[in-house]
Amino acid sequence: MPELPEVETVRRGLQPVMEGSKILKAEARRKDLRFPFQKDFVARLEGQTVTGLGRRAKYLMADLGSGDVLLMHLGMSGSFRVLKDDGDAAPGQFHHPRSENRTHDHVVFQMSSGASIIFNDPRRFGYMKIIARRALDDEPLLKGLGPEPLGNEFDAKMLAQSCASKKTSLKAALLDQRVVAGLGNIYVCEALYRSQLSPRRLAATLATKKGEPTDHARRLVSAIHGVLNQAIKAGGSSLRDHRQTSGELGYFQHSFQVYDREGEKCQTAKCGGVVRRFTQNGRSTFWCPKCQK
């Protein structure tokens, strides 16, 4: 599933053609994706200006002039494609040709900017929902989400306090969207490697007995910031389905230090260890047992 950097990359690709532009026509070409579309889905979108395009965790959020918010989730295989009035795809060098199967083009927005924005989702795990902005705090899909890992409030102290009483592994805690929003398996593995912390370590060890952050917590927060910013700059990671809105693949996968590198030598200087993989909470975990403690 696309993680925070992938969703942020998509947001930045859509922003120039969506923000400040009116939705002239909206098409829902089927009755549902992961969830059924609301009966008034199209009616609440058409004629509305997108006043802002933001992101919360792994959700895209388009603010509409009506006071509604269009919530969009990419799911496992969802992606957006931007086409100009002349039908040409948005500029970009393709690492692999995009699929020509347009039967999975499920939602289309015709924008006053002259662009068509198309949501393609072969597996249909993505979804869209229109929510009144005044009701966002009570929206079940958003309620309980933790802080943004790149937000000002997310620091070592907050992470330590969130993990102080947990009896789970450190990796499981970081994947808990109530602890920190937007992180997934790839970037958790990478951040733990960069901070030289074992994914098996107890999450509670990020805090002292008095609840203060340990050096482990500070190292981990710094690593999370670093890996996410680097991934966003690189356009995200291309695993199976993820593409940017231009059709390009993200290139952060070429910077993986541990993820999907089972059997390779550890990249930490003078470590001499070998990257291993094991299954943890149903997900593949990649780590170096020698330098991650």
User: Active-site residue numbers?
Assistant: 2-3, 58, 283
For residues 161 and 16, is the Cβ–Cβ distance under 8 A?
no
Structure-block tokens of residue 264: 């390779």
Q: What is the residue-wise DSSP string for 147-186?
A: --TTSTT-SHHHHHHHHTT--SBHHHHHH-TTTSSS--HH
109 contacts 45 by C-beta, under 8 angstroms = yes
Residues 6+ apart with CB under 8 A from 6: 74, 236, 237, 242, 250
Question: Which secondary structure element, helix H or strand E, spans residue 120, and what is its range?
Answer: strand 116-120
Question: Is 123 annotated as belonging to a binding site?
Answer: yes
CB contact set of 191 (below 8 Å; sequence gap of 6+):
174, 183, 220, 223, 224, 226, 227
Return the sign of the alpha-carbon dihedral for residues 26, 28, 33, 39: positive
Residues at the binding site for DNA are 104, 123, 166
Residues at the binding site are 104, 123, 166
